[in-house]
A = this chain, B = another copy of it.
Amino acid sequence: MVRAMATSKRVAAAREPTAPPATDTRQRIIQAGLAVLTRGEPFSLGEIAREAGISRQALYLHFDSRVALAVAVAQYSDELFGVEQALAPVREATDAPSLLRAQARFVTKYNERLYPVVRMADALRQTDPDMAAPWEDRLAARRAGGRAIAARLDQWGALSDEWTVETAGDWICALASVKLWEELVIDLRWSKERFARSLEQQLCSALLRTPGEEAPTAVAHSAKGTGKKSRA
């Protein structure tokens, strides 16, 4: 193949995402991996290599193992989707209903896009301990995201009394899971629109204080209220 020089591995790590010439082999492998993963399933390394136009053995010049490649593909897929940008509406929401609406829309798009990758990662983590750690990281990030939403709801006095910030965050995280999305959209054939709509509604009815109840400023029975329990 081409490549050569002090280019390639070191460069790939340092390359900014703004330079997509993709002449880099490592990058080509990752893209091939994503392509193979996205269509169908079986996921054989030989297939990815063929797709990338290199020999199977060359994969091992760039990745220690199947899992390392999978992790790289997952990360690339994340970057490609642009989580940061997609999350902007969620971060910028200024009231509870629009926050939850933004979250529902984000979740719908994100899960649709990341579904094949998460699927594979989930399958791999069962058999491969090396996949467990990255998986945990992602889970922690999702959990933190859910908790951040719950914390803002709580700050606004919008969080229903039955929740703590922690439990509400976990529930938000669970409802945002690819698995729930898969169950409804893939297995039960829901349309994305219906999923988004239902998720929004359910987030609202699950989390939000019902309008008729105590005002956010009023500290009622126990130690509930505005600053419920922001961290342990």
Residues of A near any B CB (own CB < 8 A): 41-42, 119, 123, 126-127, 139, 143, 162, 167, 170-171, 173-174, 177, 179-180, 182-184, 187-188, 190, 194, 198, 201-202, 205-206, 210, 212
Contacts and interface: CB of A to CB of B under 8 A. Distances in A.
5 tightest A-B CB contacts, nearest first: A179-B179, A174-B183, A177-B183, A205-B205, A170-B188
A174 B181 CA distance: 9
Contacts of A119: 126
B127 A41 contact: yes
Given A126-B123, A201-B162, A206-B205, A170 B184 contact: yes
B212 A188 contact: no
Contacts of A180: 174, 177, 179-180, 183
A127 B40 CA distance: 10
15 contacts: A123-B123, A123-B126, A139-B187, A139-B188, A167-B194, A170-B184, A173-B183, A174-B183, A174-B184, A177-B179, A177-B183, A179-B179, A180-B180, A180-B183, A202-B206
A126 B42 CA distance: 8
Nearest to A120: B126
Contacts of A205: 205-206
Contacts of A171: 198, 202
A108 to B, nearest CB: 14
Given A180-B179, A183-B177, A184-B170, A126 B206 contact: no
A173 B198 CA distance: 14
B127 A42 contact: yes
Contacts of A194: 167
B201 A173 contact: no
Given A119-B126, A162-B201, A173-B183, 16 more contacts: A41-B126, A41-B127, A42-B127, A143-B188, A167-B194, A170-B184, A170-B188, A171-B198, A171-B202, A174-B180, A174-B184, A179-B180, A179-B182, A205-B206, A206-B206, A210-B210
